[in-house]
Chains A and B, each alone.
Chain A
Amino acid sequence: MRVRPRREGPSALTEGLDKNLAALAELFGSPPDLVVRRLRLGTAPHVEAAVVYLDGMVEDMVVHQHILFPLLRGGPAREEPVILRASLAERARETLVAAGNLSEARDLRRLADEILLGRVAVLFDGCPTALAVSAKGWASRAVEDPGTESVIRGSREGFTEDLQTNVSLVRRRIRDPRLRVEFLTLGRRTRTRLAILHLEGVSSPEVLAELKRRLREVDIEGVLESGYVEQYVEDAPYSPLSTMGNSEKPDVVAAKLLEGRVAVLFDGTPFALVAPYLFVEALQSAEDYYSRPFYVTLLRLVRVGALLIAFMLPALYVAVVSYHQELIPTALLITLAATREGTPFPAVIEAVAMGVVFEILREAGVRLPRPIGQAVSIVGALVIGQAAVQAGLIGTLMVIVVALTGVATFVVPALIDAGIVFRAGLTLLAGVLGLYGVVLGVLLSLAHVAALTSYGAPFFSPFTPLSPSGLLDTIIRAPLWKMRRRPVALRSQDTQRRTGRRPKPRRGPGQPGPAGTPGEGGRS
């Protein structure tokens, strides 16, 4: 940003077409995919012009029909006596080029940027201004079912790698002109485009300003995925917990925007970033709001239970088996002693080793093509589960603990990575200090979680600081029409959700309800 003004001077476009083209060729190093098409205007053959674009980044038909064809056929009217060459670009924009989205460029660097974005540069001899006409057309993935966050009921659309498509996916969900979209370019070399989305009047201006400030100050060479930027702009880069949310689903991003959050969409990745991010969001899923509240409340409880299992079960097992035998019911203790009879390692070593084996299996399954991945997991699971026990290397109960922990980990996908860190730490503490260590570890973790903030929002809200209205969407999920307030932690400008009352079904003999549809009032 600070460098640009210095560069603009020497790289300004000149009047000579050859000179400009040579400069462009030098800048790009004349690669074979840079198409430079020189032509003369149809009605003024003495005027030379050139069309420059990158092959594969533009729609050929658009270039031919709406740019080349009008230029070759048209031109300044023959009877016009003087051709003001310097205004050729402007006249071409007004009368010749049949494209909606175009801009003018006066310096080389800017023009190169436009070409790299997939625009078509049109230069005229004698004119220091070039046109950059949008004719984007490259191979990109269609809007598909997202790989993560799959739902049974709910939208099947996921973001793609194309920024414009992603923005349109959100716009189609929030048809409000106050859905503000700002584009930004990030990455010294990749010059990746990203879009900041927020709902004017709903989102907090401070959060927005802070996010923009951080994005502006990011100094990075390349942005290939939103994770690159996340690491730069998140609040606690050294925490095992992420303080920025990400989602692949436009409906999720739309819901977050409606809550007053700010989203960043990226070119080149289907994963959008959302800030501020709160801990409870890990326990929420898109489908929670599409299903019935009672069921979802039970599901949330299951998730909390699974979360506790995923974080603490191996640690508790180790602590109880190696230190606190008096806590185990007698019959279980004897069974346990029987299964552990003759196993060579202490419980901590078993737990850690099995944890590592589980991660190996998971990693192997993730990276491989699906059919092979499944084979790996089945063989691996059999090997660990059955053979290791039969060989007397580990106790049977340990297998159950590891398997249960592993499965429970996947119940809360947002915390898989953090879970491994906490689990390992707690297990080691349990191995050294027993339950005392586990309690110590849990307290430290809680203190850490409670101390985190995300863009000014307390990470553990609505638990700490307590916000009663926020609790309606945590362990329990209240019916939508009961959730009148937006999450307090987001410091939204408009704290009240525009959620009307639920229309009551009208009762009466043979009287059809006036509202027609009895049922739940949706979010407005």
Chain B
Amino acid sequence: MRAAVRHRLRRSRGKTRAWSSAGALVGFLLASFVLSASFLLSGCWDRREVDKLAIVMATGLDLTPEGDLLLTAQVVKPSEVKAGGGGPMGGSPRAVVVASSRGRTVAEAVRGMSEVVGRRPFWGQSRILVVGEDVARAGLGDVLDWFFREREPRPKTHLVVFRGRAADVLAAENELETMPGLALDSLVSLASATSFTYPVTDHHFLRDLVAPGRDPIASAVVLVSRAGQAGFPGEEPAREGEPPATEAEKETRRLAVGGLALFKDDRLVGWTTPEQARAILWMCGKDGRSMVVIPGAPGSARPATVEVLGAKPKARFREEGGRLWLRVELECDCALADQPRGPDIVNKAVIRDIEGKVEERLRAEMLDALGVARSLGIDPFGFGLTLHARYPKLWKVFGQDWPCALWEGTVEVSVKARVIRSGLSLRAPQ
């Protein structure tokens, strides 16, 4: 055993000698230096406690009369949203502070914001970016860069264009949610139920902007008076040249989603009605539900409603006499939602009749939407993208001056509707 111990000792002594050789020592020091550096030099040293942050829920961008940018932020007041049945304190009507800061650039305005708020603004939770009409018309490309370059803002922020000043949107209230920013966000997100607008994100916008043959879109938001709430949001006219709302008027207005904002490159060029919006979205391939009102059954005072469950567009291109010929076919599955005094749905002819009415109605809407796009000289549908991807030869010919080539040619539209569900009843009570 002693021999064994001695042997081990000798071995370990041998090891020591190996260690003490200069190269190994330097190697060891270097390794420990690198290892400790990996701990000490990298990582997130900018610790920021959650209670020291001003959590921004919604961001707004406007132009001042002088041409500067006005950044508006809706900042949460956490103490006002104290969770857990905080007794009489719980749920104050307004749990946010709206603060604005001015700057020649977005970054400058952002820095200025911390002076206004008094805490470090945190943009990581900002769900929605509301852009005022003037900024959008001047071009979004000039202002969006910060939102992609900076680490905190999420590229999934919803991009909304407001027909007016964005600051007004952020100041508007919602009865249900204590945080208007969240309310606005859910308003836009819920658009998939109506297809009257689309939750376009920053990222989405940017992608459309750089894609060949597609002009970007963004969701549009309008303020409607509470009295006019019963009216269809689409009937709200674009209020251009209207005098700015007074404080009292602001109190009685609320936000509503209204169609899409149409861009040419990064500049806002026009708006759509909700119906035009859904036609555009379906032709874009954005598969959404929507209610289509069609002429009712004979004998019924009210029209019938069919819900479009999903629509698939198909674009076929051809060259015809040096011009582009395009045929858009839309196939949609529908469900009968409401048909007062309607005949028995078991009858094939009845279904066909309903389908025909839906097709007629949708065709009209699509033509309407195409008309708007034609008049603005833009392609929000992404037809150019399809051409680019599927018909590269045609794209080579017509892609040079894209939207013009499209509108110089012929565009045909056809709709194929199928009623696949009729709800729980076969016939309505007569």
Contact = CB atoms under 8 A, between A and B. Distances in A.
Contacts of B78: 334-335, 337-338, 341
Interface in A319-351: 321-323, 325-326, 330, 333-343, 346-347
25 contacts: A322-B48, A322-B49, A323-B46, A323-B47, A326-B125, A326-B152, A333-B125, A334-B78, A334-B81, A335-B78, A335-B81, A336-B50, A337-B78, A339-B82, A339-B83, A340-B49, A340-B51, A341-B78, A343-B51, A396-B84, A431-B47, A433-B39, A433-B42, A434-B44, A436-B44
Contact of A323 (B48, B51, B125): B48
Q: How large is the interface on B (under 10, 10 to 19, 20 to 34, 35 or more residues)?
A: 20 to 34
A337 B82 CA distance: 9
B50 A337 contact: yes
B124 interface: yes
Interface in B115-145: 122, 124-125, 127
Contacts of A434: 43-44, 47
A342 B51 contact: yes
Nearest to A440: B39
B315 interface: no
Contacts of A335: 78, 81, 83
Contact of B49 (A326, A346, A437): A346
Nearest to A350: B49
B190 interface: no
Given A326-B154, A335-B81, A436-B42, A346 B47 contact: yes
A432 interface: yes
Interface residues of A, number: 28
B43 A322 contact: no
A436 B125 contact: no
Nearest to A434: B44
Contacts of A435: 44
Interface of A: 321-323, 325-326, 330, 333-343, 346-347, 396, 431-437, 440
A326 B81 CA distance: 19
A337 B83 contact: no
Contact of B55 (A321, A337, A346, A436): A337
Contacts of A342: 51
A330 B125 contact: yes
Interface centre among B48, B50, B78, B84, by most A CB within 10 Å?
Answer: B50
A333 B124 CA distance: 11
A479 B39 CA distance: 46
B335 interface: no
B49 A341 contact: no
B44 A326 contact: no
A338 B55 CA distance: 11
A330 to B, nearest CB: 5
Interface string B83-127: 110000000000000000000000000000000000000101101
A326 B50 contact: no
Interface centre among A333, A337, A340, A346, by most B CB within 10 Å?
Answer: A337
Interface string B29-49: 000000000110011111111
A433 B53 contact: no
Contacts of B79: 338, 341
B311 interface: no
A321 B125 CA distance: 13
A346 B46 CA distance: 13
Interface centre among A323, A340, A436, by most B CB within 10 Å?
Answer: A323
Contact of B47 (A322, A330, A334, A337): A322
Contacts of A436: 42-44
B44 A433 contact: yes
Contacts of B127: 330
B86 to A, nearest CB: 9
B55 A334 contact: yes
B128 to A, nearest CB: 11
B48 to A, nearest CB: 7
B385 interface: no
